[in-house]
Amino acid sequence: MKSFGVALGGGGARGLAHILALEAIDESGIMPSAIAGTSMGAIIGTLYASGLSGEQIRKGFAKHAISKDDHLKDIFSKSGDIFKWLQAVRPEVKRGGLLRADGLLRYLFEEIRVKTFEELKFPLHIVTTDFWSGQEVIFNRGELLPAIKASMAIPGVFAPVSYKGRVLVDGGLVNNVPYDVLPPYCDCTIAIDVAPLRKPDRHRVPSMLDSVLGMFDMLIEHNVAAKLAISPPTIYIRPGFANIRLLDFNKHEEVFRQSAASMEELRVKLQRVIAEQGA
């Protein structure tokens, strides 16, 4: 039996596509031996490694996500959860970011009911970046909270995290699709890249936030492309999202729609690998 490792990339709202990828993996009958995640991939990866299935994660998200098909009574029934999310993300300018994620992460931990890597069902590796050295810092033991918080600390958006003498920021700066940090015992690696498609719009001048996030996306794309050219994963899936920015969580239905074809591609590739390698 071959062992599979899954890498979930960063990408803010686009990372919700990881839920569909995990559902496809569950349907294939594969039980991953390890997960590696960066930023939003670290959040979804933590939920999965805690024992939740892809379907359970999707249902949990649906509890507080407003759909365009929701009636007024549905919106009111979700208001308690929505209020928690709105309270979770608050402005924090003084510490180097526009938003703070403490409340969001506390709410996450209420859902998964675990606090350390050791309590997870299988190994999880979370990627962060040391701001001053530019080195990759990987968490796979101890407290989960600082690791997740640092991994999603997009420069200029979320405040950096000070932890054990280091200042840590988003792992996407050094390794946004971290299939290469999966343990060597993973015979097959599955990488889900939720980077956007960059389409020129020469008549639109980007806002300050769009400029920051756009530069972040460009850096990430070049880094991932260089790594893929040297040593690609067994399966690589990139939906290629259009017009969905990092913080467009209100576009979750569009994320699912745009990633649907790629998830069918993932299903086909999984079955092929399983057949070829006798997993």
Q: Report pLDDT digits (tens) over 91-100.
A: 444 444 445 5
- Residue 102: both structure tokens together: 């403490």
Axis crossing angle, helix 54-62 with helix 17-28, rounded to the nearest 10: 150
What is the pTM for the complete model shown? 0.85
Tell me how far apart the alpha carbons of residues 229 and 11 are, in angstroms, rounded to a whole number.
21
DSSP state letter for 206: P
Tell me how far apart the alpha carbons of residues 269 and 88 are, in angstroms, rounded to a whole number.
38
Q: Specify burial of residue 230 (Cβ count, 10 A radius: 0-12, 13-18, 19+).
A: exposed
Task: Encode pLDDT of 63-120 as tens digits.
Answer: 655 445 544 444 334 444 444 444 444 444 444 444 555 555 666 666 677 889 999 9
Please answer whether residues 168 and 131 qualify as being in contact, where contact means their C-beta atoms are separated by less than 8 angstroms. Answer: yes
At residue 196, the 3 state secondary structure works out as strand
pLDDT at 246: 80
Buried b or exposed e, range 4-34, using 16+ CB within 10 angstroms: bbbbbbbbbbbbbbbbbbbbbbbebebebbb
- Residue 221: both structure tokens together: 């794309």
pLDDT surpassing 80 at residue 139:
yes
Task: Encode pLDDT of 143-184 as tens digits.
Answer: 998 999 899 888 777 889 999 999 999 999 999 999 999 999
pLDDT at 166: 96
- Per-state percent for the chain, helix, strand, coil, to nearest 5: 50, 15, 35
